[in-house]
Structure formats: C-alpha cells, structure tokens
C-alpha cells in the first residue's frame, strides 16, 4: 500500500474527550472515527486490525470443533418473551417497533435465537454435541458509553453456544472453550488470566472471565505470582484429551478481580496486585434456556430431555483497545505481529531521490511477492514526521531508506517493539523480516 494513496487520517492534537490511552491512540492514528455516542466507524487501519483478530478467533474456534454461522442483528421480541428475559433486560436493550408495529430489538446477545435454531433442527441425541458461533455486531444501550471501543454501544462480539446431552459432556464442551480462549489470547500476544466470575443476566452455575493484564486496565486484579512464570505449552493442548487436567492447572492458581478477592485464599508472600481488562466471558447454564424454550432431544429410549448449554463470548472490537492498553509506549502503539495492520512499513526519507525511490520500490515489490503486507511511505513529509507517524501506528518493523546509507546499498531496519535498529544490506534485511 502506498501511503500517498491510502486513507490514514492522523490526528495531531490529542483528543480532549478521550480519557484512556487506547482511545487516544486509536483516534490519533486514524483507526476509528466516532459517529455518535459509543458508535464508531472503523477506518482502514482499524478495520485491518479488527479483521486480523476476527480471523485468529475463527481459526481457533474451528480447531476446537465449533461451526461458524451468522445470526442477524435484529431479533423478534417474541423469543425473548419465551425465555422471560424481554422484561428483565432493562434499558440496555435497544427496543424497536417495525412498520407493522411489531416489537423487535437489536440483539445484545443470542442465547434465545440460537436455542430457537437448535430446537428447529435438532430433534435427536444423535445431533449432539454441537457448538455454533458467530461474529456479529451487538448493541447495548449503555447509559454512559466511554473509553472508546472498550465500552461502546455498538460492538463486535464473538459468541459461541454449546449443546450437550448431559452435564458431564457439557462440562467437556465448556473446557474446550476454556482452552480455546487461552490459545486465542496467546495468539493475540496477550496474557489472559481466567477467573471465576458471576453469571449475571446470562444465568447459570459456572462462569469464568478472561482478564488480560494491562497497567492501565479498568479493574484491579489480584493473582498468584506463579501466573507470571507459568510455562504451559498451551498451543499443544489437544482438544480431544487432557482437558480437565489442563483446566484444573489454570483454575487452581489464585486469580481474582477486586470484587471477588479473598485475601484468606492466598499466601500474602505470593500475592501480586495488578490491573486488567475483561476480554472474554464463558458461562455454563445447563438447561436454563432449553427448559423455558423447549429445546429437547429424543434419547435412545425414546424419552425427551432438555439439552445442556453454555455460551462463550469474546469482545472482538473491545480487544483492539485492550491490546493497545497492554502494548504501547510514549510514541504510540506497539502491535503484536499477529494483529498488526501491516507486517512492515517502508519509510523513504528522500522521496524524489532516484536511488532512494528505486531501493524503496524494489524492496516493496520483493516483499509483496512474498505475501507480506507493507505500507510504503512515499509522501514528501519531513523525516521526523514520517518516523513519528510509523511509531504512532505501531507497525512491527520499519525499513528506513535515506540517502546516506543508500549510497552503500544499505537499509536501516527498526524493531518497533524493542526499538533496536540495525544497518543491513538487502540479504540481511530479507533474513531479518522473515524471522
């Protein structure tokens, strides 16, 4: 991508109403634009990050045996009356009348709709177990939306729903999602701590929040210091075995949010206090919705049994903010490589200088041929402004091309994360960026 043709509207002044660092950095780097309270447009740079995160989640949920579907944003109020939640949900539910004066709503979550899909199609125990998920926009009419995409009104959520024959197999499905979440957050470059949680309006008997550590996080977190050096090979946990053992390993280590913290449960010498951000929440609620909505399957003996269910959410748009909260410095964002909007950028410090233009273009074309995503700054801004912009938007590697080094056919390559710079020739460069 040539920056001169790209839409990257960098905002120079720090936005006044943005209280937290991720909100400020997302506005400054032209990732989002606020359209109205708690509602944002994702500009090209932001949209790229959102897509990368979604794609990591999709891959890992598929690996865990879940099937992707796509439910609509608008739901009928009838379904919510069946479960009894229509009146319970309160003002956060965006209630709408259509042209025929029917009650509809913008889905804040999908337990009712997925239960309806299930009961319409699956009639026998042979259709179990089943896990269906989608990534779709939700709406919660927060009274005071704030913190940018961290607490917006329209937000992108991945929500999965498991269906099982009995409590035991339902716990196995829960454990698969538990492990899948650890894998996902690790791939996103995050350290996520699962913590026992309240079930709230979703209901149920068992629930964990996944909290990522970030100094600027919204809530206080207490945990065992062993968390920081935990060396479990999460990537290699097999979904078909060892699940309970692995889940136990994680749930046995102390970790709690402020509200749940109980100092008697941990040796003070092992306790550390830090801050965190909730990015996922999983629930086991058994037959709560299947009973009220009649989602039953026939058993081998001919009798009918309500299915056991769980639901599993990840805040996809919120994660963009959360990743920035956990990975930035004074100069701007530091993207983990897996979610960076571009793999590399090329900064041509002397556009118009024949040698610099030629070297820039040749490295651009070479890397494009290797399927790297590259942002090439071919604009005529000052060197200082160009380098500051690339630090701000946080692309993992900067290839800097200026007249002095160009004469010797050398490039400077900078690692955004640790700040290290190396002067290299073309072959070294290629080796470095392929790491």
User: Quick one: 219 or 298, whose CB is closer to its own copies?
Assistant: 298
How is residue 435 annotated by DSSP? Answer: -
Phi first, then psi, for residue 381 (nearest 5°) are: -70, 170
How is residue 352 annotated by DSSP? Answer: T
CB of 420 to its own copies, least distance (A): 32
Asked whether 221 and 257 are in contact (CB, 8 A), the reply is yes
Per-residue tokens: 65: 């045996």
User: Quick one: 309 or 400, whose CB is closer to its own copies?
Assistant: 309
CB of 141 to its own copies, least distance (A): 5
Q: Any idea what the Cα angle at residue 292 is, between residues 289 and 293, rounded to 5°?
A: 80
User: Quick one: 155 or 174, whose CB is closer to its own copies?
Assistant: 155
Q: If DSSP states are collapsed to H, E and C, what string results for 309-344?
A: EEEEEEEHHHHHHHHHHHCEECCEECCCCCCCCCCE
CB of 173 to its own copies, least distance (A): 13
CB of 126 to its own copies, least distance (A): 9
User: Quick one: 58 or 432, whose CB is closer to its own copies?
Assistant: 58
CB of 196 to its own copies, least distance (A): 31
CB of 332 to its own copies, least distance (A): 19
Q: Which residues bind its own copies (CB under 8 A)?
A: 5-7, 9, 30, 33, 35-36, 39-44, 46-47, 50, 65, 67-76, 78, 91-92, 94, 96, 98-99, 104, 106, 113, 116-117, 120-122, 130, 132, 134, 137, 139, 141, 143, 153-154
Q: How far is CA 203 from CA 136, 168, 178, 369, 433, in A?
A: 22, 19, 18, 51, 48
Among 152, 138, 140, residue whose Cα is nearest residue 46:
152
Asked whether 223 and 258 are in contact (CB, 8 A), the reply is no
User: Quick one: 40 or 376, whose CB is closer to its own copies?
Assistant: 40
- Strands (E) across 200-351 are located at 206-213, 219-224, 255-257, 271-286, 296-298, 304-306, 308-315, 328-329, 332-333, 344-348
User: Quick one: 3 or 387, whose CB is closer to its own copies?
Assistant: 3
CB of 50 to its own copies, least distance (A): 7
User: Quick one: 92 or 205, whose CB is closer to its own copies?
Assistant: 92
Q: Give the pairing of strands 39-42 and 74-76.
A: unpaired
């Amino acid at each position: 991508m040539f920056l001169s043709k790209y839409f990257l509207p960098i905002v120079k002044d720090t936005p006044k109403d943005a209280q937290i660092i991720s909100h400020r950095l997302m506005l400054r780097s032209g990732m989002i634009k606020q359209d109205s309270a708690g509602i944002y447009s994702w500009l090209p740079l932001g949209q790229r990050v959102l897509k990368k995160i979604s794609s990591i989640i999709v891959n890992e949920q598929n690996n865990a045996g879940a099937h992707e579907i796509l439910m609509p944003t608008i739901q009928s109020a009838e379904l919510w009356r069946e479960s009894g939640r229509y009146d319970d949900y309160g003002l956060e539910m965006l209630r709408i009348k259509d042209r025929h004066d029917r009650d509809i709503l913008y889905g804040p979550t999908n337990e009712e709709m997925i239960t309806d899909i299930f009961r319409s199609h699956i009639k026998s125990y042979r259709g179990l177990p089943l896990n269906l998920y989608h990534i779709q926009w939700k709406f919660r009419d927060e009274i005071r939306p704030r913190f940018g995409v961290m607490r917006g009104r329209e937000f992108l959520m991945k929500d999965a729903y498991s269906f099982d024959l009995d409590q035991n197999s339902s716990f196995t499905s829960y454990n698969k999602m538990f492990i899948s979440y650890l894998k996902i957050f690790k791939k996103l470059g995050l350290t996520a701590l699962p913590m026992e949680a309240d079930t709230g309006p979703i209901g149920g008997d068992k629930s964990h929040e996944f909290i990522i550590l970030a100094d600027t996080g919204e809530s206080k977190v207490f945990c065992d210091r062993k968390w920081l050096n935990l060396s479990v090979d999460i990537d290699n946990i097999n979904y078909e075995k060892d699940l309970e053992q692995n889940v136990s390993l994680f749930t046995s280590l102390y970790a709690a949010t402020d509200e749940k913290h109980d100092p008697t449960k941990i040796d003070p010498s092992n306790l550390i206090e830090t801050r965190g951000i909730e990015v996922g929440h999983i629930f086991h609620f058994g037959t709560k919705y299947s009973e009220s909505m009649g989602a039953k399957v026939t058993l081998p003996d001919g009798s009918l049994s309500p299915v056991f269910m769980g639901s599993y959410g990840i805040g996809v748009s919120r994660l963009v903010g959360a990743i920035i909260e956990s990975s930035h410095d004074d100069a701007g964002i530091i993207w983990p490589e897996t979610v960076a909007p571009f793999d590399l950028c090329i900064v041509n410090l002397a556009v118009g200088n024949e040698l610099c233009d030629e070297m820039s273009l040749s490295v651009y074309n070479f890397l494009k041929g290797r399927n790297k995503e590259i942002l090439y700054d071919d604009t005529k801004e000052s060197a200082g402004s160009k380098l500051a912009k690339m630090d701000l938007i946080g692309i993992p590697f900067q290839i800097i091309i200026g007249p002095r080094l160009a004469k010797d056919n050398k490039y400077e390559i900078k690692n955004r994360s640790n700040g290290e710079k190396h002067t290299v020739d073309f072959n070294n460069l290629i080796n470095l960026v392929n790491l």
